[in-house]
């Protein structure tokens, strides 16, 4: 029997985007551990006072940037299928779709390539997808689903095309905020969902993501994986280096600043800042001061102008 359309065939377009981002953790890595950096009311204010520099995202995977086939592992062969399509900006992309809603007991797996973790401690996974409304498909009342499952597996090397289902750790069950119908297909309108999930406290060099379909009609438009860091900055005549955000949401990383050239540290109040789990610098504490003979100008210490008079001119 012919399967219903997922709505992202090569000739389809996406012209309406609905973005909903829900960040919640159902996996066991979330910890109440804190480095104990905030022990006073003054320090607690840091949690609500981000500094002027926004977080930098270090992208580990962006499926939309691939110009060639993604080549992810699909099992069984009649499950997830890689196709060509276009995104919400009409840019050509490679996507995966599955729509085996006519038959019960579906267990279709899709495994990404190996993703090198680099320095990431708290990894964000952004999924953009479309999902078919089961009520718009006749005769599938007992077999059609409207969710799929997101997993990950850590490893120090590429696991290749071997999908170890029992070794995967579940991150969450993903549901659509809006699903599309046959009428939307006729009008060439897609309802694009965006969901963000996260994992942390990873110990190995990298990981694979796994997507389990249990009977939905779904198309993965894009998968984007990244972590956050606080960008290098100069505050109060002190240089603060790039700093990767910690895994636990409540943890702040204290970073000591290095005085710029021709400046000296205030020993009673040395410069330091805290990098939040969201990759944002919090209000700076302490400072450096320009050395004798130098003055502060645009974040650096420059020499004062010296006016020297020749003795010969005074005679």
Residue with the bigger pLDDT between 188 and 21: it is 188
Identify the pLDDT of residue 33: 32
CATH architecture assigned to 55-228: Sandwich (2.60)
Residue with tokens 């659509």: 176
According to the model, what pLDDT value does residue 4 have? 66
Domain ranges of the chain: 55-228, 231-294
CA distance 156 to 170: 19
Rg, C-alpha atoms of the chain: 26
Q: How far is CA 265 from CA 43, 88, 233, 240, 272, in A?
A: 21, 51, 17, 14, 11
Query: Can you give the pLDDT at residue 35?
Result: 32
**Cα gap 175→178, rounded to integer Å:** 9
**Interatomic CA distance for residues 94 and 92, integer angstroms:** 7
Which has the higher per-residue pLDDT, 4 or 79?
Answer: 79
pTM over 0.95: no
CA angle 223, 117, 84 (to 5 degrees): 25
DSSP state of 18: -
| Token pair belonging to 205 | 């060099």
Q: Of 101, 110, 76, 120, whose CA–CA distance to 223 is shortest?
A: 110
| Angstrom distance (rounded) from CA 148 to CA 198 | 16
**Right CATH number for 231-294 from 3.30.70.100, 1.10.10.60, 2.60.40.1770, 3.10.310.30?**
2.60.40.1770
If you search the block for the tokens 């718009």, which residue do you land on?
Answer: 136
Render pLDDT for 274-315 as a digit per residue (tens, 0 to 9). Answer: 999 999 999 899 999 999 999 999 999 998 754 444 444 444
Confidence of residue 88 (pLDDT cuts 50, 70, 90): confident
C-alpha neighbours within 13 Å on the C-beta side of residue 244:
15
Query: Can you tell me the distance from the alpha carbon of 75 to that of 133, in angstroms, rounded to the nearest whole number?
Result: 24
Cα–Cα dist 269/288, whole Å? 9
Q: At 301, phi and psi to the nearest 5?
A: -110, 115
Residue 128: what pLDDT?
97
The predicted pLDDT at position 147 comes to: 98
pLDDT, position 193: 97
The neighbouring-strand residues paired with 288 are 265
- Gap between the Cα atoms of 134 and 180, Å rounded: 9
Mean pLDDT score, 239-252? 89
**pLDDT on residue 194:** 97
Q: Cα dihedral sign for 273, 285, 55, 240?
A: negative
């Amino acid at each position: 029997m012919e399967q219903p359309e997922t709505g992202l065939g090569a000739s389809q377009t996406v012209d309406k985007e609905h973005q909903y981002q829900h960040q919640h953790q159902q996996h066991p890595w979330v910890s109440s551990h804190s480095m104990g950096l905030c022990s006073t009311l003054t320090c607690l204010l840091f949690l609500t006072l981000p500094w002027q520099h926004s977080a930098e995202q270090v992208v580990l995977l962006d499926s939309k940037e691939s110009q060639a086939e993604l080549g992810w592992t699909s099992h069984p062969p009649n499950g997830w299928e890689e196709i060509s399509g276009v995104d919400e900006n009409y840019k050509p992309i490679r996507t995966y779709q599955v729509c085996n809603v006519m038959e019960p007991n579906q267990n279709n797996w899709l495994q990404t390539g190996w993703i090198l973790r680099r320095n990431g401690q708290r990894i964000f996974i952004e999924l953009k997808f479309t999902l078919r409304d089961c009520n718009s498909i006749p005769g599938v009342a007992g077999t059609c689903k409207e969710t799929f499952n997101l997993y990950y597996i850590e490893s120090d090397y590429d696991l290749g095309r071997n999908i170890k289902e029992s070794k995967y750790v579940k991150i969450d069950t993903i549901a659509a905020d809006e699903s599309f119908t046959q009428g939307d297909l006729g009008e060439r309108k897609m309802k694009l969902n965006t969901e963000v999930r996260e994992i942390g406290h990873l110990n190995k060099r990298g990981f694979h993501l796994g997507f389990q379909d249990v009977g939905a009609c779904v198309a993965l438009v894009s998968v984007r994986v990244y972590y956050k860091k606080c960008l290098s900055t100069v505050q109060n005549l002190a240089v603060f280096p790039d700093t990767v955000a910690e895994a636990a949401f409540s943890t702040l990383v204290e970073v000591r600043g290095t005085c710029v050239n021709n400046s000296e540290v205030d020993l009673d109040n040395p410069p330091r800042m805290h990098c939040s789990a969201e990759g944002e610098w919090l209000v700076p504490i302490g400072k450096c001061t320009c050395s004798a003979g130098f003055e502060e100008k645009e974040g650096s210490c420059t020499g004062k102008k010296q006016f020297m008079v020749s003795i010969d001119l005074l005679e």
